[in-house]
Structure 1
Amino acid sequence: MKNTAYFCMEFGIDQMLKNYAGGLGYLAGSHFRSAYNLNLPLVGVSMLWSYGYYDQIRDKEGQMNVHYVRKYYEFLEDIDLKVSVNIYGSTVWVKVYKLNSDIFETCPIYFLTTDIPENYYLSRTISHKLYDGNNLTHIAQEIVLGVAGYKVMQKCENIDIYHINEAQSLPLGFKMIEEYGLDYVKNHLVFTTHTPVSAGNEVHDINLLNKMGFFSGVDITVAKKLGGAPFNLTVAALRMSKKANAVSKLHNETTNNMWDFIKDKCEITYITNAQDKNYWQDPIIRNAAKNYDYDKLRDRKRELKELLFEEVADQTGKILDPDIMTVVWARRFTEYKRPNLLLHDEDKLKKLLDDKKLQVIWAGKPHPNDTNSQITFNWIISKTRNLKGTAILTGYELKLSKMLKQGSDVWLNTPKRPNEASGTSGMSASMNASIHLSTLDGWHAEWAEMYPDNSYTIGDCKNIHDAYEANCMYNHFEIMSNIYDTEEWWNKACNCVNDIVKYFDSERMVKEYAEKMYI
Structure 2
Amino acid sequence: MKAIRRFSVRPVLPESLLPLQELALNLRWSWHPETRELLRSVDPEGWAAAGGDPVRMLSTVSASRLAELAADRGFLRRLGVAAEELRDYLTDDRWYQQEGVELPRGIAYFSPEFGITAALPQYSGGLGILAGDHLKAASDLGVPLIGVGLLYRHGYFRQTLSADGWQQEHYPVLDPHAMPLTLLTEEDGTPVRVALTLPGGRALGAQIWQARVGRVPLLLLDSSLAENDPAERDVTDRLYGGGSEHRLLQEMLLGIGGVRALRAYCRITGHPEPEVFHMNEGHAGFLGAERIRELGEERGLDFDAALRAVRAGTVFTTHTPVPAGIDRFPEELVARHFGPDAELASLDRDRLLELGREPEGTAAPGGQPTAEGQPSPFNMAVLGLRTAQRCNGVSTLHGTVSREMFSGLWPGFDSSEVPIGSITNGVHAPTWTDDAMRDVRAGDMSDADLWQLRREMRERLIQEVRERLRTSWRQRGAARAELGWIDEVLDPDVLTLGFARRVPSYKRLTLMLNDRERMKRLLTHPERPVQIIVAGKAHPADEGGKRLIQELVKFADDPRLRTRIVFLPDYGMAMAGFLYSGCDVWLNNPIRPLEACGTSGMKAALNGCLNLSVRDGWWDEWADQDFGWEIPTADGMAADDPQWRDAVEAAALYGLIEEQVAPCFYDRGGNGGPPVRWMEMVRATIDRLGPKVLAERMVREYVGELYSPAARAHRELDADAARELAAYVERVRREWPGVSVDHVDSGEEPPVLGGVVPLRVRVALGGLDPDAVQVQAVTGRVDENDTLADPRVVPLKPLGGADLEGRWTYEGELTLDRSGPFGYTVRILPAHPMLASHAELGLVALPSMEVEQVPEHEAGVLLR
The two structures have a TM-score, normalised by structure 2, of 0.58
Cα deviation for residue 456 of structure 1 reads 0.5
For the 8 Å contact 1:86–1:92, the answer to whether it is kept is: yes
For the 8 Å contact 2:165–2:549, the answer to whether it is kept is: no
1:497 aligns with 2:606: no
1:176 aligns with 2:291: yes
After superposition, residues 395-474 of structure 1 pair within 5 angstroms as 395-448=570-623, 451-460=624-633, 462-463=635-636, 465-474=645-654
1:305 aligns with 2:475: no
1:220 aligns with 2:349: yes
Return the letter of the residue paired with 1:405.
Y
For the 8 Å contact 2:210–2:218, the answer to whether it is kept is: yes
For the 8 Å contact 1:174–1:215, the answer to whether it is kept is: no
Q: Distance in 2 between matches of 1:54 and 1:462?
A: 34
Cα deviation for residue 452 of structure 1 reads 3.4
Return the letter of the residue paired with 1:471.
A
Q: Which string of whole-angstrom CA distances, capped at 9 and with x for unpartnered residues, describes residues 294-317 of structure 1? A: 222222222222222123222333
Cα deviation for residue 338 of structure 1 reads 0.3
Structure 2: unaligned runs, 5 residues or longer: 1-102, 185-190, 267-272, 296-305, 358-375, 412-416, 470-485, 639-644, 667-674, 709-864
For the 8 Å contact 2:403–2:419, the answer to whether it is kept is: no
Q: Which string of whole-angstrom CA distances, capped at 9 and with x for unpartnered residues, describes residues 264-295 of structure 1? A: 89821110001011110124335152425322
* Residue of structure 1 in register with 2:403 after alignment: 256
After superposition, residues 387-402 of structure 1 pair within 5 angstroms as 387-388=561-562, 389-402=564-577
For the 8 Å contact 2:494–2:531, the answer to whether it is kept is: yes
Return the letter of the residue paired with 1:41.
P
Q: Distance in 2 between matches of 1:220 and 1:279?
A: 44
1:475 aligns with 2:655: yes
* Residue of structure 1 in register with 2:697 after alignment: 508
* Residue of structure 2 in register with 1:295 after alignment: 448
Cα deviation for residue 219 of structure 1 reads 2.3
* Residue of structure 1 in register with 2:813 after alignment: none
Query: Could you tell me which of 201, 204, 227 is aligned with 1:92?
Result: 204
After superposition, residues 359-378 of structure 1 pair within 5 angstroms as 359-378=531-550
After the TM superposition, which of the residue ranges 192-201 and 306-315 deviates more from structure 2?
306-315
Query: Could you tell me which of 183, 188, 191 is aligned with 1:78?
Result: 183
Return the letter of the residue paired with 1:334.
P
Cα deviation for residue 236 of structure 1 reads 2.1
* Residue of structure 2 in register with 1:339 after alignment: 509
Return the letter of the residue paired with 1:276.
H
Q: Distance in 2 between matches of 1:308 and 1:454?
A: 22
Structure 1: unaligned runs, 5 residues or longer: none
For the 8 Å contact 2:584–2:610, the answer to whether it is kept is: yes
For the 8 Å contact 2:158–2:170, the answer to whether it is kept is: yes
* Residue of structure 2 in register with 1:284 after alignment: 436
Q: Which string of whole-angstrom CA distances, capped at 9 and with x for unpartnered residues, describes residues 59-117 of structure 1? A: 3555431001011243211112111112334211110011124xxx3511001100111
What is the DSSP-based 3-state SS (H/G/I as helix, E as strand, rest coil) of the residue aligned with 1:194? coil
For the 8 Å contact 1:100–1:107, the answer to whether it is kept is: yes
For the 8 Å contact 1:57–1:66, the answer to whether it is kept is: yes
Q: Distance in 2 between matches of 1:375 and 1:460?
A: 24
1:144 aligns with 2:273: no
Q: Distance in 2 between matches of 1:319 and 1:200?
A: 36
Return the letter of the residue paired with 1:255.
S
Q: Distance in 2 between matches of 1:469 and 1:383?
A: 20
For the 8 Å contact 1:48–1:113, the answer to whether it is kept is: yes
Cα deviation for residue 435 of structure 1 reads 0.7
Cα deviation for residue 474 of structure 1 reads 0.6
Q: Distance in 2 between matches of 1:500 and 1:107?
A: 28
Cα deviation for residue 496 of structure 1 reads 0.5
For the 8 Å contact 1:56–1:365, the answer to whether it is kept is: yes
1:243 aligns with 2:243: no
Query: Could you tell me which of 106, 118, 125 is aligned with 2:234?
Result: 125
Q: Distance in 2 between matches of 1:410 and 1:13?
A: 25
The two structures have a TM-score, normalised by structure 1, of 0.95
Q: Distance in 2 between matches of 1:143 and 1:81?
A: 18
Q: Distance in 1 between matches of 2:316 and 2:280?
A: 6
* Residue of structure 1 in register with 2:40 after alignment: none
Query: Could you tell me which of 295, 311, 315 is aligned with 1:186?
Result: 311
Cα deviation for residue 212 of structure 1 reads 2.1
For the 8 Å contact 1:175–1:215, the answer to whether it is kept is: no
Cα deviation for residue 190 of structure 1 reads 1.1
For the 8 Å contact 1:147–1:172, the answer to whether it is kept is: yes
For the 8 Å contact 2:434–2:577, the answer to whether it is kept is: no
Instruction: Give the RMSD, CA atoms, in angstroms.
Output: 1.8
* Residue of structure 1 in register with 2:426 after alignment: 274
Cα deviation for residue 224 of structure 1 reads 3.6
Q: Distance in 2 between matches of 1:300 and 1:116?
A: 51
1:195 aligns with 2:320: yes
State how many pairs are aligned: 514
* Residue of structure 1 in register with 2:798 after alignment: none
Larger Rg: 2
Q: Which string of whole-angstrom CA distances, capped at 9 and with x for unpartnered residues, describes residues 327-366 of structure 1? A: 1110111100000000011011111111042111110111
For the 8 Å contact 2:328–2:378, the answer to whether it is kept is: yes
What is the DSSP-based 3-state SS (H/G/I as helix, E as strand, rest coil) of the residue aligned with 1:127? coil
Q: Choose between structure 1 and 2 for higher RCO, CA contacts under 8 A separated by at least 6 residues.
A: 1
For the 8 Å contact 2:407–2:418, the answer to whether it is kept is: no
For the 8 Å contact 1:238–1:266, the answer to whether it is kept is: no
Return the letter of the residue paired with 2:422.
Y
Return the letter of the residue paired with 1:335.
S
Return the letter of the residue paired with 1:358.
V
What is the DSSP-based 3-state SS (H/G/I as helix, E as strand, rest coil) of the residue aligned with 2:591? coil
After the TM superposition, which of the residue ranges 423-432 and 216-225 deviates more from structure 2?
216-225
What is the DSSP-based 3-state SS (H/G/I as helix, E as strand, rest coil) of the residue aligned with 1:350? helix
What is the DSSP-based 3-state SS (H/G/I as helix, E as strand, rest coil) of the residue aligned with 2:246? helix
Q: Distance in 1 between matches of 2:111 and 2:572?
A: 18
1:208 aligns with 2:333: yes
For the 8 Å contact 2:427–2:602, the answer to whether it is kept is: yes
Q: Distance in 2 between matches of 1:118 and 1:516?
A: 44
1:330 aligns with 2:500: yes
Cα deviation for residue 319 of structure 1 reads 1.3
After the TM superposition, which of the residue ranges 225-234 and 424-433 deviates more from structure 2?
225-234
What is the DSSP-based 3-state SS (H/G/I as helix, E as strand, rest coil) of the residue aligned with 1:405? helix
For the 8 Å contact 2:523–2:531, the answer to whether it is kept is: yes
Q: Distance in 1 between matches of 2:230 and 2:117?
A: 29
What is the DSSP-based 3-state SS (H/G/I as helix, E as strand, rest coil) of the residue aligned with 2:122? coil
Q: Distance in 2 between matches of 1:115 and 1:500?
A: 45
Return the letter of the residue paired with 1:391.
V
Q: Which string of whole-angstrom CA distances, capped at 9 and with x for unpartnered residues, describes residues 101-158 of structure 1? A: 4xxx351100110011111111011001000132211111001111111001112221
